[in-house]
Amino acid sequence: MVAITEVCPASVAAAHGILAGDKLISINNHPIRDVLDYRFYLYERVVALKCCRGEETYTVRIVKGEYDDIGLTFETPLMSEKQRCQNGCIFCFIDQNPRGMRDTVYFKDDDSRLSFLHGNYVTLTNMTDEDIDRILTMRFSPVNISVHTTNPELRVRMMKNKRAGQVLSYLDRLYEGGISMCGQIVVCRGINDRDELVRTMTDLSRYYPVMGSVSVIPAGLTAHRDGLYPLTDFTAEEAAELIDTVEAFGERMRRDTGGRMFFLSDELYLKAGRPIPEAAYYEDYAQIENGVGMLRSFEDEFYMAMDDLPSASCALEKAREVSIATGVASYPMMSKLAADLMGKYSNLTIHVYKIINHFFGESITVSGLMTGVDLREQLKDRALGDELLIPSCALRDGEDVFLCDTTVTELSQALGVGIRATPSDGYAFLGTLLGEDNARKEGI
């Protein structure tokens, strides 16, 4: 039973007399516990909704198009509380946040519904046999799974959860049920790398192609690890060894099955001082949201957009000066893109600023973890031009707020410049660098 908080005035539900404050009990006699039940059972053309108002229950019969919404809003998007993570992973990034931030920053979710709805990764430790049964019945996929290791005893130690090993059996059930899966391995130096990593890849390879891709990512270590498990970063040589191991395994997979399955994060290539692979390596970029191939995709899109520009060097209709704030990892690429575009237009000036992450620690080099605090401190006396461009991934999802709780408005006022958040899209980024009026004139 879930509470209805709002009914759209012009909706089918309103026309049938459903009111805000009523509670939805069932659809076609199926109990409704959360958003997955609601979406699954609502798809039929004829639905009977059993509701209650106060102490009285009533039923309405609605005829609609398949998958059509009926106009109900609930208290939360999940229609119930998020499931809190029950693990104590030795590499958990949230445990490494500085103190004094808002409470929501420290909330750790491990909710299988968010895996389907938003692409979140789950460890399976919060799930039960009944949860797996529901996924198999409703055919929800993909399920994104943080595996880390297939060694049951090691998984228990890494995640500090006694169920962490036994729930690996759910991989078999999902595979046998044909539920699409994506995997993730966060690699910790001296813990689940080398032979343990080969074991994990070998065990997971038998799930291909139902588990179509697995990302291999180094644990992110901030400067705030007091009292936590003593993890250390991979050296450049160790990162190179890790790359060689995963690439060799993936190449054997590609020869034997037609798909590489295992993909390394961009961060490992940068740490090893190796070039990012070409686009063909990433196949369909299935793991791009995990930072796998993001730099390659972005750079290729940018240059394809440049290919659409007029061939001759020229001047923009309106001279433009703009600045880019980027993390240490992507600074070389951003500098190159800026230089090549400025070489095209004589009156375009682009400043690229490398932001060192003092908030989380200098070992954190990705742009998505830049904070307003560091941006304000490191850009306060810099030439910023017409506007400052920041990556949208540095902001909280759906908010104009950095992880340090600084708002975009606050940063803009402190620096005295307009700030624009840009998506991870090379085409859109090039257009933003040129400015809207210029981009329109140049056909971007």
CATH code for the domain in which residue 367 is found: 3.40.50
Q: What is the pLDDT confidence band of residue 145, given thresholds at 50, 70 and 90?
A: very high
Residues 152 and 21 in one domain: no
Note whether residue 84 is domain-resident.
no
User: In the 8-state DSSP scheme, what is residue 275?
Assistant: P
For residue 171, is pLDDT > 90?
A: yes
Residues 245 and 115 in one domain: yes
Question: What average pLDDT score do residues 263-273 get?
Answer: 96
Q: Identify the CATH number of the domain in which residue 155 sits.
A: 3.80.30
Residues 200 and 130 in one domain: yes
Residues 50 and 98 in one domain: no
Residues 108 and 175 in one domain: yes
Q: What is the pLDDT of residue 51?
A: 97
Please give the structure tokens belonging to residue 237.
């040589």
Domain range holding 39?
A: 2-74
**Final residue belonging to a domain, choices 291, 320, 352:** 291
Question: What average pLDDT score do residues 134-154 get?
Answer: 94
Nearest CA among 217, 222, 208 for reference residue 243: 217
Q: Is 15 helix (H, G, I), strand (E, B) or coil?
A: helix
**Final residue belonging to a domain, choices 249, 275, 291:** 291
Note whether residue 83 is domain-resident.
no
Note whether residue 82 is domain-resident.
no
Residues 193-232 pLDDT 10s: 999 999 999 999 999 999 999 999 999 999 999 999 999 9
Q: How many domains in the chain?
A: 3
For residue 181, is pLDDT > 70?
A: yes
Residues 433 and 314 in one domain: yes
**Preceding peptide of 142 cis, ω within 30°:** yes
Mean pLDDT check: name the lowest of 52-61, 82-91, 159-168, 319-328.
82-91
Alpha carbons 11 and 66: distance in angstroms, whole number: 15
The chain-wide mean pLDDT, for the chain, equals: 93
Alpha carbons 25 and 3: distance in angstroms, whole number: 9
Max distance between CA atoms of the chain, in angstroms, equals 75
DSSP H or E stretch at residue 296:
helix 294-307
Note whether residue 45 is domain-resident.
yes
Alpha carbons 427 and 315: distance in angstroms, whole number: 20
Residues 260 and 377 in one domain: no
Question: What average pLDDT score do residues 132-156 get?
Answer: 94
**Strands (E) located in 157-210:** 181-187
Angle at 411 between CA 98 and CA 338, to 5 degrees: 100
Mean pLDDT check: name the lowest of 88-102, 154-168, 267-281.
88-102
**Final residue belonging to a domain, choices 291, 307, 324:** 291
Residues 100 and 29 in one domain: no
Residues 101 and 239 in one domain: yes
Half-sphere exposure (Cβ direction) of 253: Cα atoms closer than 13 Å: 27
Residues 268 and 351 in one domain: no
Residues 236-255 pLDDT 10s: 999 999 999 999 999 999 99
pTM: 0.87
Note whether residue 266 is domain-resident.
yes
For residue 118, is pLDDT > 90?
A: no
Residues 337 and 208 in one domain: no
User: In the 8-state DSSP scheme, what is residue 278?
Assistant: P
Alpha carbons 281 and 244: distance in angstroms, whole number: 14
